[in-house]
Amino acid sequence: MLTEQPNPRTSDIDQLTALEIATRMNDEDATVALTVRQALPAIGKAIDAIAERLSSGGRLFYVGAGTSGRLGVLDAAECVPTFSVDPELVQGIIAGGEAALVHPIEGAEDDRNAGRAELLARSLWERDAVVGIAASGRTPYVLGALEAANETGALTIGIACNVPSAVLDAAQIAIGVPVGPEVIAGSTRLKAGTAQKMVLNILSTATMIKLGKVYGNLMVDVKVTNVKLAERARRLVAQIASVSEADAAGLLAQANHEVKTAIVMQRRGVPPDEARRLLKQAGGRLREVIG
């Protein structure tokens, strides 16, 4: 596998100064974005397919082991406060369960049947989308999950850093990001992990944009769960509704801290319930309600 090969550009890295090591690593990282760019046609196809599934009642599952699994869980968790989605809508599944987020669970990634069972236990159905993530492209746990998803008619997407690979072959949409040998041979938490994180960022963000979670480039479906997000919500309402931050705070209080509801209340001159009705009628797309 390419990810396991020694990197000739870093063969002397143990003899370098700290600055030289950092520079060499940064040089390698600079190649990752270009590799992801080459995969954009497949990524775009995946975004359209995922958005179609979610808009018809489906869910999105990320499945991986080790670093790949942790990245999937991270992306899923961040969708909740960023886009105010139900935690059930985007779910991250890691081999070995929650304990594997902070401690390596030896052998968990090799259990193909566990990957199948984990997905089937979540009542997987044809409107769901499953993204299998594996730097190696051959992780048995991920392959088991993709097999189960294909059998139920769900959408399957594979992300791998070795091309060709079994994970890509098992998926309906294959996203190959062959970043090449790592700075430290086989340490796929480095370039491979960076590539996977970039792909997941694009998949989830673009999908949520297509689902109406963004107005312009503003995070209008933010879930107000802390002081920082409360301040952001006030700024968003003030900016889009053209009111002071004090008035924005008042609108948010009436709207149960729902940013889009508060904006529609001001821009359309309607009470909260009518604002919510208008948004529901527009599929949550703020632009269709206020222009």
Residues marked active site are found at 78, 109
CA distances (Å), origin 291, targets 55, 99, 261: 22, 47, 14
Nearest Cα neighbor of 109 from 6, 190, 175, 118 is 118
Peptide bond into 164 cis (omega under 30): yes
Nearest Cα neighbor of 215 from 282, 291, 275 is 291
The distance in angstroms from the start CA to the end CA of the chain is 51
173 and 41 Cβ atoms separated by less than 8 Å: no
215 and 287 Cβ atoms separated by less than 8 Å: yes
E-strand spans in the chain?
60-64, 90-94, 129-134, 155-160, 173-176
126 and 154 Cβ atoms separated by less than 8 Å: yes
CA–CA separation, 178 vs 36, rounded Å?
A: 9
CA–CA separation, 113 vs 141, rounded Å?
A: 7
95 and 111 Cβ atoms separated by less than 8 Å: yes
